[in-house]
Structure 1
């Protein structure tokens, strides 16, 4: 058994438990567990109870799985790499699904939307006078990419005839290939591809349709502007942290006789994810946790609530299908970020292009 496989699985499982535990805090007050509810029902007893129960279940199942993994490995010398993180994620999803089902049942039974005026709102100024995309925050990622390219060019002449392509759990090379531009610079190509992907997706999400509150449309639009900028900055910083991890992987590839712990290489990416999650928790979905703009007069409520659109969200509220909606990208209800509208052919095409690039490019480069 590889001595580093267990620590990697334990760390990954711990991160998954932490993210799952925070999940209720990553959605707005009117979307508990991805269920659309009126603001007046945000403090319904079933929501508070299900939130507490969900977090207890996530913490208990995650802790038991991690402890069982360590005991089996140390006592019986039994360990399946990656099994515990997968089981931890599955347990979190099951707990999330149970909470979602319970809240949906009460919502339907008590008819929470009875007598309410439902609607949607759009602020055209977000199109005609949009916020500037924070391109300067992409500079750190590009600088790390340029540094990796420079180191690779300087190192290439002195590389051996065979370079490592794969490393085992302890950081040792276990698969080699003949030296070439493709094999030697593969980590750099991966780094460039991931940088481009994050930048493009961040720009697209920055222009995605906002989910504004028709009850306070002006205040909601202001919060969305601040939310979109802060979220974009966190994602651009994530690109820089991911590039640092890939710089470490490139260095290991170009020094095949060295051993570096996978946990050490993943630390920058973990830091980047912490920035993204921390930003999401502080801002809330669409900026729902941001304070009102300083100096702005309180907005009078319109008496219109967000439309109940649960019927368009499938698979625990993670897949959006609405053929009548022209939007390509919409904010997720489950997790962080945006998802495509599977009811829009352009959204499906965008997803196919992204997946094709992620699957085909590495094969071509090899």
Structure 2
């Protein structure tokens, strides 16, 4: 394994390890490893579980790095890194699920909900006065799409018979591919799909059920509004960054940019910027806005209630939700990060997921055949 491949291996495993190590810290304080903790947030057992999880994730990262390096001696660096990264993600997920089971057991042993008055709070103002998306923020992503498409049309008549492969650090490896419409227009079509997906996600998310804490309904409703506004702005920026990277890929595919490591760095710089902004969002805003500072008087708000314990509907450490009695289609995951999951107990959600999966599989099959 040459130094560049070794550096990539270390970067990938370190990033995955750091991400999984940070997952519990990104979650809302009322949840630990996907489990509602209520009065058990200060239980020493929870602290021990966190420490064991952290050690397991670090050990898995070190082990995956060594195993991937050894595997590369027999299969090559690309295949080894792909296998090693996949196995590490699965192993980290298993460690997270193991910690979640430990929290559930500690919760039962400590009877953390004993004497608690459980409730669910709704804020109808999110229906009568919904958060508005600042759609003008979509203009940069659309402008990049139009510019890329125009460049492609100008280049179409002078394209060579084959287009370059885009493997390797300099985007110059791999076999050349025929200059068919689908191959040449793929970056532009992906830009259009990115815009459409962003609009769809924003429309759905803005109508998803808000996360309102029964103990602090006024404060959490105010924070959730600020969270949705900031999240919408972030998604529009990410869409523009993704389209900029796709524009760079298109220019390289059409051989308007030279093959070099510098070109690769420039092409993927917007995605790196989007990743930095996403991390900043998580650290400053948090899921549902739980990291936002309280306004004067909000810290004293306490209804004497706790959010209803719905652990029986959550599975795989708060990643999967299934509740037939809940009409919501989209709900917040209990894992850290601005993530939603569908309600697998809702027939509409299941049907929609099946249709999206069938569409994705059909598109993949058509792309492969062409």
With normalisation by structure 1, the TM-score equals 0.89
Q: Are 2:256 and 1:250 equivalent residues in the alignment?
A: no
- Deviating more after overlay: 115-124 vs 275-284: 275-284
The 1:257/1:140 distance shift into structure 2, 3 A limit, reads: closer
Are the equivalent residues in 2 in contact too, given 1:35–1:103 (CA < 8 A)?
Answer: yes
The 1:177/1:298 distance shift into structure 2, 3 A limit, reads: closer
The 1:88/1:338 distance shift into structure 2, 3 A limit, reads: same
Are the equivalent residues in 2 in contact too, given 1:213–1:220 (CA < 8 A)?
Answer: yes
Match of 2:320 in 1: 319
Are the equivalent residues in 2 in contact too, given 1:6–1:81 (CA < 8 A)?
Answer: no
Match of 1:55 in 2: 54
Structure 2 CA distance, aligned partners of 1:280 and 1:141?
23
Q: Please report how far the alpha carbon of residue 2 of structure 1 lies from its aligned counterpart in structure 2 after TM superposition.
A: 8.7
The 1:319/1:205 distance shift into structure 2, 3 A limit, reads: same
Are the equivalent residues in 2 in contact too, given 1:173–1:256 (CA < 8 A)?
Answer: no
Match of 1:333 in 2: 334
The 1:77/1:128 distance shift into structure 2, 3 A limit, reads: closer
Residue ranges of structure 2 left out of the alignment (5+ in a row)? none
With normalisation by structure 2, the TM-score equals 0.88
Match of 2:350 in 1: 348
Are the equivalent residues in 2 in contact too, given 1:2–1:169 (CA < 8 A)?
Answer: no
Structure 2 CA distance, aligned partners of 1:360 and 1:4?
36
Structure 2 CA distance, aligned partners of 1:76 and 1:87?
17
Are the equivalent residues in 1 in contact too, given 2:214–2:303 (CA < 8 A)?
Answer: yes
Are the equivalent residues in 2 in contact too, given 1:20–1:92 (CA < 8 A)?
Answer: yes
Structure 2 CA distance, aligned partners of 1:256 and 1:305?
60
The 1:319/1:288 distance shift into structure 2, 3 A limit, reads: same
Match of 1:121 in 2: 121
- Deviating more after overlay: 208-217 vs 14-23: 14-23
Please give the residue correspondences for 1:29-178 in structure 2 after superposition, counting only pairs within 5 Å. 29-38=29-38, 40-70=39-69, 73=72, 79=77, 80-164=80-164, 166-170=165-169, 171-178=171-178
Match of 1:197 in 2: 197
Match of 1:361 in 2: 363
Deviations 1:103-156 (A, max 9, x none): 110101121112211111100001101121122322222222222212212211
- Deviating more after overlay: 58-67 vs 18-27: 58-67
Residue ranges of structure 1 left out of the alignment (5+ in a row)? none
The 1:256/1:177 distance shift into structure 2, 3 A limit, reads: farther
The 1:51/1:298 distance shift into structure 2, 3 A limit, reads: closer
Are the equivalent residues in 2 in contact too, given 1:16–1:89 (CA < 8 A)?
Answer: yes
